Structure 1
Amino acid sequence: MKFWYHSKLTIAALMLMPFSLITLIVSLFKRKFRSRHSYPVPVIVIGNLTVGGTGKTPTIIWLVNLLQSRECRVAVVSRGYGAKPNQSFPILIADQHSAFEVGDEPTLIRNKTSADVVIDPDRDRAVRYLSDLPLGQRPDVIISDDGMQHYRMARDVEILMVDPLRGFGNGLLLPAGPLRELTSRLQSVDYVLAKQTGPMLPEGRVHTASAHTEMPINAQGETLVTTQVHLCSAIGNIQSFIDTMIAIGFSVKVVHDFRDHQRLPDRVLSDKRLPIVVTEKDFVKLLAPAEHVYFLPYGLEYSDEFKWELLTRIEGVIHEKSSHYSG
């Protein structure tokens, strides 16, 4: 909601503040009674405090690829927001599953990493499912896509993503503001990350990424050569998408912004007056994209210093768990 990010409190925010007290009570209760048990496999949570896109998915893909380069078997658990499966949870995503059945972000993560991805609104159940697999199939590390506030799921490492351009908005809890928890939660996580530098980064050590993009391509593998484009997307923060397209030299003439995870309507995608560019997350939901519809390849890369710091921490937890559960 736009009023969340106004510099001054709006009437709408003030009217909703009593309901934010409910969010506070619920979040404090969940945290107080969070799970204390431990899984035999290390669990890393990558989440955020705010509603909306902060770069979780490309960060997860970066970390999965990094761990795989160290010969780690990695699995990802996700809520599978918007999924409409025809089977019971937990679901291990397979080739026959479409993005409509299992969700756009889990599908994208699996496509770009080949890691095992399990969806389940109950992330604790998803982690247990993976932890109970036979030794030859069990992952060495499990990454939770979001789930920072899912306190029934124990975790060994917490990575918090922050929005460097919008920060924490008006600083209020839902629904008066964009926060899921109080900003004091920053002090208890292991790492704070941002997908880029920006004026709204919190104080303290924040690891920022650099983006790497390629030119938009379509399903036929053709690269977009014209500079005037029509952007169409259903993500948490379309402004970041717009800024990226402008930064790589495109002139954005038309923008269609839909609710996060929503299916892009055919009436918009059928407009051929300009090439249409969507995000990778949107593109995985298109069953038969036309030639004039392109997607923007996008990824994040963090510094070598942070890379080795994080790897050392994760490999230490793997060793600790393997020693404990093998004995």
Structure 2
Amino acid sequence: MSAAQLIQDAWNKQAKWLIVFRPLSWLYRGGFLLNKKLYQLGIKTSYTAPIPVMVIGNITVGGSGKTPLLIHLVNYLQSLDVRVGVISRGYGGKGPFPAYVDVNAEAEAVGDEPALIVQSTGVPMAVGPNRQKSIELLLQKHALDLIICDDGLQHLALNRQLEWIVLDNNRGLGNEKILPEGYLREPKSRLQSGTVIEHAAEPETALHMHLAAAEPYLLNGASAQSFNPDAVFYAVVGIGFPQRFYNTLENMGIKQFQCHEFPDHHDYEITDLQFEDSNPMITTEKDAVKILPLLKQNPDMRREIWVVPVDAVLSAECYSTLYQQLKQLGIPLPEGTSL
């Protein structure tokens, strides 16, 4: 087990030995507060885009469901003829940056999540650590009404008009400690300054979402093959919170699978997909965008690789809240918009 996986497991279990990181947590918190103060004093400056910016992020390390939420919102806004674009850090991508992401972009260059977002929506998208340059690149190519920033809640160099903070109640806030003693990027009080979307199967608030899995599809082989949930699978996954994927498999009636976890945004190699027998593999769409190039490079790969697509299902209050927020920003929307 890698050091990163060891700490992730300790976070999830709220292990008591994490207290040894408390001095580092104080340093992390102090550094973050100092950086925030420098922006407040104008010593550091923030960029304000010429059109509204909406950030979708979280205050925790690891997966919260924000990427499926972003994909769903993009598709929804496109159905309302809102001209939306997306920017992202492009984590895991090698650049060069800023990079424009089209449907043929390789995850190795732009990152796995950007590749998945564009393949799922066709949205105009640019990635890079400098969000201003990414926005400028987008606006050179497209006339847009709204820019959604994937993650970047803590990126103070970018001003934003809307913040949606995804809170996964399955993980919660852990021990409520700042990195690295806990998995919080910011204190839980940060939740008071944005629109919190509760990610939960049994929600406690009006603003909530959950992920619904669709029928798995085959990444390789004959597309006419039918999915057999009774098979024994290798569950290969490199996401922030693998347990959510395992729960999804169990909810789909898949009971026999061996877990093979990799770090979030893992750069797959063909050896990661090789096992002693010919049992099928099952994975997420985020992982699939990195696995597919390997299959093209290794056409002799005969193992079935199944992909589980998921969609974010939002409460009615999420749509009405979004509608009111965008109207207040002057973004044209059809009157009487409904779900």
Q: TM-score, normalised by structure 1?
A: 0.88
5 Å matches for 1:114-153? Answer: 114-131=122-139, 133=140, 137-153=142-158
SS at match of 2:256: strand
Unaligned residue ranges in structure 2 (runs of 5+): 1-7, 296-300, 333-339
Amino acid at match of 2:35: K
Equivalent-residue separation in structure 2 for 1:82 and 1:140 (angstroms): 28
Equivalent-residue separation in structure 1 for 2:167 and 2:58 (angstroms): 6
* Corresponding residue number in structure 1 for 2:5: none
- CA drift at 1:312: 2.4
- What do the CA deviations read for 1:277-316 (whole angstroms, capped 9, x no partner)? 0100000112154551110011111022321221221133
Distance change >3 Å, CA 36–CA 93, structure 1 → 2: closer
Once the two structures are overlaid, the 10-residue window that deviates more, 47-56 or 307-316, is 307-316
Q: How many residues align?
A: 308
Equivalent-residue separation in structure 1 for 2:113 and 2:283 (angstroms): 14
1:98 equivalent in alignment to 2:106: yes
CA contact (8 A) 1:23 1:180 kept: no
Amino acid at match of 2:12: Y
* Corresponding residue number in structure 2 for 1:310: 322
* Corresponding residue number in structure 2 for 1:188: 193
Distance change >3 Å, CA 2–CA 288, structure 1 → 2: closer
- CA drift at 1:37: 5.4
1:233 equivalent in alignment to 2:240: no
CA contact (8 A) 2:102 2:118 kept: no
* Corresponding residue number in structure 1 for 2:172: 167
- CA drift at 1:117: 1.2
Equivalent-residue separation in structure 2 for 1:170 and 1:45 (angstroms): 25
- CA drift at 1:226: 4.0
Equivalent-residue separation in structure 2 for 1:121 and 1:54 (angstroms): 21
Percentage identity across aligned positions? 33
* Corresponding residue number in structure 2 for 1:245: 249
* Corresponding residue number in structure 2 for 1:324: none
1:5 to 8, 12, 19: 12
1:54 equivalent in alignment to 2:64: yes
1:77 to 87, 105, 115: 87
- CA drift at 1:166: 1.6
- CA drift at 1:229: 1.8
* Corresponding residue number in structure 1 for 2:264: 260
* Corresponding residue number in structure 1 for 2:282: 277
1:68 to 74, 78, 81: 78
Once the two structures are overlaid, the 10-residue window that deviates more, 165-174 or 54-63, is 165-174
Unaligned residue ranges in structure 1 (runs of 5+): 321-327
Q: TM-score, normalised by structure 2?
A: 0.85
SS at match of 2:108: helix
Once the two structures are overlaid, the 10-residue window that deviates more, 215-224 or 175-184, is 215-224
1:212 equivalent in alignment to 2:212: yes
Equivalent-residue separation in structure 1 for 2:13 and 2:110 (angstroms): 35
* Corresponding residue number in structure 1 for 2:35: 30
1:39 to 29, 40, 49: 49
Distance change >3 Å, CA 29–CA 209, structure 1 → 2: same
SS at match of 1:3: helix
- CA drift at 1:96: 4.1
- What do the CA deviations read for 1:120-173 (whole angstroms, capped 9, x no partner)? 112233223334x26xx2221100110000000000000101121121111111
Equivalent-residue separation in structure 1 for 2:269 and 2:137 (angstroms): 36
Equivalent-residue separation in structure 1 for 2:245 and 2:94 (angstroms): 27
Equivalent-residue separation in structure 2 for 1:172 and 1:305 (angstroms): 30
Equivalent-residue separation in structure 1 for 2:226 and 2:130 (angstroms): 40
Equivalent-residue separation in structure 2 for 1:39 and 1:180 (angstroms): 25
CA contact (8 A) 2:216 2:306 kept: yes
Equivalent-residue separation in structure 1 for 2:240 and 2:330 (angstroms): 33
Equivalent-residue separation in structure 1 for 2:185 and 2:199 (angstroms): 20
Alignment root-mean-square deviation, CA: 2.1
Equivalent-residue separation in structure 2 for 1:253 and 1:119 (angstroms): 35
SS at match of 1:305: helix
CA contact (8 A) 2:208 2:318 kept: no
Equivalent-residue separation in structure 2 for 1:80 and 1:104 (angstroms): 8
Equivalent-residue separation in structure 1 for 2:78 and 2:315 (angstroms): 18
